[in-house]
Every structure is written in C-alpha cells, then in structure tokens.
Amino acid sequence: MFRYLVRRLLQMILVFVATTFIVYSLMYATGGDPIQALAGERPVSPTQRAQLIREYGLDQPFLVRYWNYLSGLLQGDFGKSLTGREVSDIIAQALPPTIQLAAIAIVTTIALGVTVGIIAAIRRGGWFDNATLVFTLIIIGIPIVVLAPLAQLIFTIKIPIFPTTATSGDLYALLLPGIILGALSVATAMRLTRASFTENQRSDYVRTARSKGLSKRRVVGVHVLRNSLIPIITFLGIELGALMAGAIVTEGVFNVPGVGFNLFRALRTEDAPLVVGLVSVLVIIFLVANLIVDLLYAVLDPRIRYE
C-alpha cells in the first residue's frame, strides 16, 4: 500500500509538470497581446508597454519563461496577474466559494441521484422507476445556460426564497446554485446506480445471501450497495474534479466569486499568469481526487489490492 502511494505520488509529479507545460505553451501559442487586451481599445504608450514587457518577462524565449514559472511555482510563488495582484491571493480567495459550491452539488447528486437510483433498481419497472426516468431525461435535456437563469428567475425573483446572487459567498446564497449544478449530474448518477444495482441484484452472492435467510434490508444495504458503488465512486470522483474547475456558467449567473468566475475573466483578458496559476491548482485537485478514488476501490472491494 505504502509503495503504491509513493509510486502514485511520483507519477503525479510527472503529470503535473507535463500538464502545466501544455497549458503554458497553449497560452503562449495563442500569441495575443496581453498588454493591449488589458487596456481594451485604448492606446498603450511605448514606454508603458516596454515596462510591462520587462516586468512580466514577455521578451524572453518560451523555455526560459516556462522554467522561471516552474521554479517559482516550486517555491510557492504563482507570480503576479496582469492587473498586479498576486495570483496566489486570487486563488486563495476563489477556492473557498468554489469548494462550497462543489460540495453542495456533490451532496445533491448523492442524496438525489444515488438514493433515487437505488429505489428505482429495487422497484424496477414500477411507476417510480418510469417517472424518474422521464424526469431525469428532462433535466438532462435542459442545458445549464437555460436551467440556471430559469431557476434564478423562479426561486429568487418571482418567489424570493433564495438570494439572487452569491456575491458575498455565504453558504445560504450558494445553496441554489449548488443544487442547480448538482441537478445536472443527478440524472447520470441515478442511471449509473440503477444499472449497477440491478446487475448486482442478479448475481450469485446475492442469491446465496438470500437463501441463507438474511433480511432483505441487509442484503440490499450491505451486499448489493457496497458492490454497486465502484462505478458511482469513479463517476463522482471525476465529477468533483470537474466541479472544482469551476462551473463557469453557474458561477456567472449567480455571480459566485469562485474559480470559474476568475478563469473566465482571465481568459477574456488574456491574463496568462492567472490562467496558468488557476489551471495548475486544478490539475493538483484532479490528481488528488483521482488518487482518492483509486484508494476507495480497495476499501469497497477487498479483492482489489495495491502493491
């Protein structure tokens, strides 16, 4: 187990360097003019331009710039965004709301998707199964660009239960956007749970458990559930990473000052240091989430062992 962890951590370093390199070179390859982008349609004086170019090292060759960036990163220095703020400050401010939002979304997915999936699998073919199938298909069919403003209009303006925007980032305000975000993966989680559960219900060990005289509750709650969780955990792990990457649309509609919000602005203003900084953090989050998912497999299925 320990050796496996070390091996994975070493792999993660390689993946991290490779991904940051790709992102850095992509930002470099867009070849825009970040200084002009910052100024909008206004003229930038040559003096000012030269000063900024020197400050951000835009005149140096690509590999030198990447090396400087990477070595700064290893010392915990994310560099400065083009507006002069420390990228690490921006990340520190953007992460908490996004983590909260992702947590609410994941909880929604688990609470609704997994529970409903299990019930649907147990009462396969019944009215509940069919009704949820139709309902989830409808939800999955509405794109977030419609769903989010619609929910905002209904639940914050027409029937004011929730605050309209989550600018301050307090938890209650994040509830509605979190649920909306989670609703998108509810359908997938539900179908996945239902399929996996149905399959396991037919397997030999379930029959054995039943014939042994175990209560239905124990058979379903322990034997079937545990063995059905592997695909769901895989899905949720990846989903959590994706949610952390910032739901650009949801964060935009509800004005959540999170990662997606900042990433969008950084891309629009060609703020390469900020984009690369945010993406680097996201890469780490993805890697850690994946590692946790892999470790969970061993917990769920004793046949899986990591050496």
Report the distance separating Cα 49 and Cα 307, nearest Å: 56
Candidate list 163, 227, 238, 297; residue touching another protein; CB under 8 A: 163
Residue 255 sits in the site that holds another protein (CB under 8 A): yes
* Pick 45 or 75: Cβ nearer another protein: 45
> Of 28, 264, 297, 306, which lies in the binding site for another protein, with binding defined by CB under 8 A?
264
Among 164, 198, 227, 234, binds another protein (CB under 8 A): 164
Helix (H/G/I), strand (E/B), else coil: 41:
coil
**Region binding another protein by CB under 8 A among candidate stretches 1-9, 13-21, 239-247, 295-303:** 295-303
Q: What is the dihedral of CA 225, 229, 232, 234, to 10 degrees?
A: 180
Tell me how far, at minimum, the Cβ of 266 lies from another protein, in Å.
12
76 binds another protein, rule: CB under 8 A: no
Instruction: Give me the DSSP letters along 139-150.
Output: HHHS-HHHHHHH
Stretch that binds another protein, among 9-17, 65-73, 205-213, 262-270 (CB under 8 A): 262-270
Binding status of residue 172 toward another protein by CB under 8 A: yes
H-only helix segments in the chain: 2-29, 34-39, 46-55, 62-74, 87-108, 115-122, 127-141, 144-152, 171-201, 204-211, 216-218, 225-244, 248-253, 259-268, 272-300
What distance in Å separates the CA atoms of residue 40 and residue 270, rounded to the nearest whole number? 11
Q: From CA 246, how far away is CA 229, in angstroms rounded? A: 26
| Sole binder of another protein in the list 3, 157, 202, 307 (CB under 8 A) | 157
| Cα dihedral sign, 67-73-77-80 | positive
Record the tokens describing residue 177, joined without a space: 């956007």
Q: Which stretch binds another protein (CB under 8 A): 2-10, 108-116, 192-200, 278-286?
A: 108-116
Q: Supply 115's token pair.
A: 């529970």
Pick the binder of another protein from 9, 13, 25, 51 (CB under 8 A): 51
If binding is defined by CB under 8 A, does position 105 make contact with another protein?
no
The yes or no reply on residue 212 touching another protein (CB under 8 A) is no
Q: Is 42 exposed, middle or buried (0-12, 13-18, 19+ CB in 10 A)?
A: exposed
Instruction: Choose, by CB under 8 A, the member of 5, 32, 96, 208 that binds another protein.
Output: 32
Q: Kindly tell me which of 173 and 187 has the beta carbon lying closer to another protein.
A: 173
Question: Could you say whether residue 139 binds another protein (CB under 8 A)?
Answer: no
Residue 155 CB neighbour total at 10 angstroms = 17
Can you read off the two tokens belonging to residue 133? Answer: 């199938």
Under 8 Å CB-to-CB from 193, ≥6 apart: which residues?
Answer: 113, 114, 116, 117, 118, 121, 228, 232
For residues 11 and 29, is the Cβ–Cβ distance under 8 A? no
Give yes or no for residue 117 binding another protein (CB under 8 A): no
Q: How many residues bind another protein (CB under 8 A)?
A: 66
Q: Which stretch binds another protein (CB under 8 A): 66-74, 187-195, 198-206, 258-266?
A: 258-266
Q: Does 175 bind another protein (CB under 8 A)?
A: yes
150 binds another protein (CB under 8 A): no
- List residues near another protein by CB under 8 A: 32-33, 36-43, 45-52, 54-55, 83-85, 89-90, 93-94, 103-104, 106-108, 110-111, 149, 152-153, 156-157, 160, 163-165, 167-173, 175, 222, 226, 251-255, 257, 261-262, 264-265, 299-300, 302
